[in-house]
Amino acid sequence: MDIAIQLRGDERDFINACMAQERWAQQLLYEEFYSSMMGVCLRYANNQDDALDILHEGFIKVFKHIAKYEPGTSLSAWIRRIMVNTAIDYYRRSIRRRTEDLEQAYDLSVDEADAISQFGEQEILDAIQLLSPAYRAVFNLYIIEGYSHKEIADVLEFSESTSRSNLVKARIKLKAILTSRLYGYDHEEEE
């Protein structure tokens, strides 16, 4: 979903206009990528307001560092990487460190059919937002962004085993949330 700027010249001219803080160029970039990047931010945020904070902070970084973008490469991928990193930074600032029982992770398994396939995008997004920040971050980085557990551990500053444990627990929790919605009972009541 890279943009092709026909109105104001080629991509290099457009990037130069953004670097010169031309409002028309910044507005065009923001409007073009708002919805797709909001989707990225929503996956990491607790709610819509937090997602907007991440999105706006991410766009500030985009405009501040636009000179680092190399015309001819994927502008969408470059902006997405900034948004993911901004979301990770947001997670780091908001998370309270707590220890988890890693021994339980070895006893957990996910062998049953996937409850996620029964739901639409918005329902899944709503369920993901109910996960704890740690579970949500690991789930998004591993499942959506394709990070390895080593990369997640490095980025979030905890061990690989914690990353694996959080992913297993996130999947179980997400399945419980979605299953409870599928069968019409409140998952909060069981906890």
> Using CA atoms, how far apart are residues 17 and 4, in angstroms rounded to an integer?
14
Supply the pLDDT for residue 124: 83
Q: Which domains does the chain have, with CATH numbers?
A: 11-94 (1.10.1740.10), 102-190 (1.10.10.10)
Supply the pLDDT for residue 7: 37
Q: For the residues 122-128, what does the mean pLDDT come to?
A: 85
Supply the pLDDT for residue 57: 95
Alpha-helical (H) ranges within the chain are 11-19, 23-44, 48-64, 75-94, 121-129, 133-139, 149-156, 160-183
Q: Residue 65's pLDDT band (boundaries 50, 70, 90)?
A: very high
Residue 105 has pLDDT above 90, yes or no: no
* Residue 21: CB atoms within 10 Å: 10
Across the chain, mean pLDDT equals 80
Q: For the residues 38-44, what does the mean pLDDT come to?
A: 92
> Using CA atoms, how far apart are residues 83 and 61, in angstroms rounded to an integer?
9
Confirm if 47 and 126 have CB atoms less than 8 A apart. no
Reduce the DSSP state of residue 73 to 3 states and report it: strand
Residues present in the chain in total: 191
Residue 102 has pLDDT above 70, yes or no: no
189 vs 156, higher pLDDT: 156
Supply the pLDDT for residue 186: 58
3-class SS shares of the chain: helix, strand, coil, % to 5: 70, 0, 25
Task: Express each pLDDT in 145-181 by its tens digit.
Answer: 889 999 998 988 888 889 999 999 998 898 888 888 7
> Using CA atoms, how far apart are residues 29 and 119, in angstroms rounded to an integer?
32
Q: What is the dihedral of CA 110, 113, 117, 123, to 10 degrees?
A: -60
Residue 42 has pLDDT above 50, yes or no: yes
Q: Is the dihedral of CA 31, 142, 137, 139 positive or negative?
A: positive
Q: For the residues 100-117, what does the mean pLDDT come to?
A: 47
Supply the pLDDT for residue 37: 95
73 φ/ψ angles, rounded to the nearest 5 degrees: -95, 180
Q: For the residues 111-118, what does the mean pLDDT come to?
A: 53
pTM (2 d.p.):
0.59
Q: Residue 118's pLDDT band (boundaries 50, 70, 90)?
A: low
